Amino acid sequence: ASSTTVDLSPIEPGMQVTVPWQKKPVIIINRTPEMLASLKETMDKGILKDPLCKVPQQPPYCTNMYRSRIPEWYVGIRICNHLCCIPHYRPKKGSVAPWWLGGFHCPCHGSMYDLSCRVIQGSPAPHNMAVPEYEISTEKMSTTI
């Protein structure tokens, strides 16, 4: 399998980019402290299907609340695991529902995910979105998927 290296330096806090990797869209988000706080808040609301990432949808080093190697940087496959649509990035609070703290919203059948791509209860998608194996370096400001 071929790997892709992405320069992280142009991705400012709060921004996301989507890059192709093995014919799949991979999202990279530089999460702000506020965005990271929203992950805990969503967890505390008890609205996630698999808050602790028990279903193996990520490498072992991403089995944490951030679902990442470095909390700020999220790297994940941007494919809804209901019927494989590409969810929209909706980082703004209240943009999908009054209680919304930011995340992804699937245009096909309405699945909702938080900013760690953990699926919210009531969504047709059964699992959190997948995270690929990757390396990341904040010194080199790059990630290799």
* Among the listed residues 50, 124, 127, 144, the single contact to ligand FES using CB under 6 A: 124
* Among the listed residues 38, 42, 111, 143, the single contact to ligand FES using CB under 6 A: 111
Residue of 82, 88, 105, 109 with catalytic role: 109
The minimum distance between CB 120 and ligand FES, in angstroms, equals: 11
Dump the DSSP string for 50-78.
STT--SS-S-GGG-STT-SSBTTEEEEE-
Dump the DSSP string for 75-142.
EEE---TTT---PEEE-STTSSSTT--SEEE-TTT--EE-TT-PBBTT-S--SPPP----EEETTTTE
How many angstroms separate the CA atoms of 88 and 124, rounded?
A: 16
Give yes or no for residue 121 binding ligand FES (CB under 6 A). Answer: no
The minimum distance between CB 30 and ligand FES, in angstroms, equals: 25
> Are the CB atoms for 25 and 77 separated by under 8 Å?
yes
Per CB under 6 A, the segment of 35-43, 90-98, 106-114, 137-145 that binds ligand FES is 106-114
Give yes or no for residue 82 binding ligand FES (CB under 6 A). Answer: yes
Please indicate whether residue 105 is annotated as part of the active site.
no
Number of residues that bind ligand FES (CB under 6 A): 11
Give yes or no for residue 85 binding ligand FES (CB under 6 A). Answer: yes
Angle CA 22–91–106, to nearest 5: 55
How many angstroms separate the CA atoms of 112 and 35, rounded?
A: 16
Considering only residues 18 to 77 of the shown chain, the ones binding ligand FES according to CB under 6 A are none
Catalytic residue positions?
A: 109
Using CB under 6 A, list all residues that contact ligand FES.
Answer: 80, 82-83, 85, 106, 108-111, 124-125
